[in-house]
Amino acid sequence: MLHATGLTKRYGSTTALAGLDLTVGPGEIVGLIGHNGAGKTTFVEITAGLTRPDAGTVEIAGIDAVRHPAAARRHLGLAPQHLALYPSASVRQNLSVFGGLAGLRRRALRAAIDEVTTATELTAVLDRPVGLLSGGQQRRTQTATALLHRPAVLLLDEPTVGADPQTRQAMLAVVRQRADAGVAVCYTTHYLPELDELGATLAVLRAGRVIARGTRDELLTGLPGELLLGYADGTERRISSTDPRAALAAAVTDPARTAGLSTVDIRRPSLDDLYHALSREAHHVAA
């Protein structure tokens, strides 16, 4: 569905993408994560046909998006990182223009607007100017513009930035539904628990390349978890270990550690830990 090969892009002396390879299959949600400047937005811009790569190819639903951007974009739904809506126009008008440009006409357009505004809980504000909506409602409107024409590929660039928990949950549910219907979803975010909720596989970007790709469990293997030992006097001891269960077994056989022990907690490594590990690695490289 979405297939990028060897994407390279330079801005002056800065390399934004350095041979990025990424495939997102039908029904798959890929969480694209990485530090600021890792190349996420450049990848989104190239895939959406907004920027030409210096080298490499992107295919959307089998169509070369670099050579035939207009044809490829018919199969793409984009929700950019920054709000890109007409504030003086109503939600309906915003959806009408983006739906119309995607090829929806009259009855099909009205049906699509009904469907996405119901899914994103926007029906009550359909005829209000977007500029008067809350930040969360504006975010949902933006996401709705990407969903209208039922594209084969969804490209969502930090779609929940600034969204409240209710908005976030509504949007995640819609994304999940679309993936279940066979849509390939590429989802960039800095809010990693969202990717857990979506059941996304992960692609970690650094310096314009995918440096790690896999399921959550695959990527977290080898990262240290934590054994938290709480004592009756209120003190706490943390033991970092790639195998916290083994660390616990060792701890309970050590009388020095069990004296006064009142609580035991094992914390498995999270995506945040993965992110922080990558940050430390990046700092080492920079140093």
Contact yes or no for 203/30 (Cβ under 8 A)? yes
Return the residues of window 4-43 that contact another protein according to CB under 8 A: 11
Work out how close the CB of 80 gets to another protein at its nearest, in angstroms, rounded to a whole number: 6
Rounded Cα–Cα distance for residues 128 and 16 (Å): 39
Instruction: Please give the structure tokens belonging to residue 146.
Output: 């990407």
Binding another protein (rule: CB under 8 A), the pick from 1, 4, 33, 48 is 48
Binding another protein (rule: CB under 8 A), the pick from 5, 8, 23, 51 is 51
Based on CB atoms, which residue is closest to another protein, 82 or 283? Answer: 82
Binding another protein (rule: CB under 8 A), the pick from 73, 139, 168, 209 is 73
Rounded Cα–Cα distance for residues 151 and 145 (Å): 11
Binding another protein (rule: CB under 8 A), the pick from 5, 15, 23, 93 is 93
Contact range with another protein by CB under 8 A, out of 89-97, 173-181, 197-205, 227-235 = 89-97
Q: What are phi and psi of 4, to 5 degrees?
A: -110, 135
Rounded Cα–Cα distance for residues 263 and 26 (Å): 45
Rounded Cα–Cα distance for residues 119 and 135 (Å): 17
Return the residues of window 113-132 that contact another protein according to CB under 8 A: 129
Give the amino acid at 116.
V
Based on CB atoms, which residue is closest to another protein, 76 or 179? Answer: 76
Quick one: which of 65, 59, 72 has its CA closest to 3?
59
Binding another protein (rule: CB under 8 A), the pick from 10, 74, 176, 190 is 74
Q: How many residues bind another protein (CB under 8 A)?
A: 32
Contact yes or no for 176/198 (Cβ under 8 A)? yes
Contact yes or no for 124/132 (Cβ under 8 A)? no
Binding another protein (rule: CB under 8 A), the pick from 88, 123, 215, 262 is 88
Residues forming contacts to another protein in the complex (CB under 8 A) are 11, 45, 48-51, 70-71, 73-74, 76, 78, 80, 82-89, 93, 96-98, 100-103, 105, 129, 145
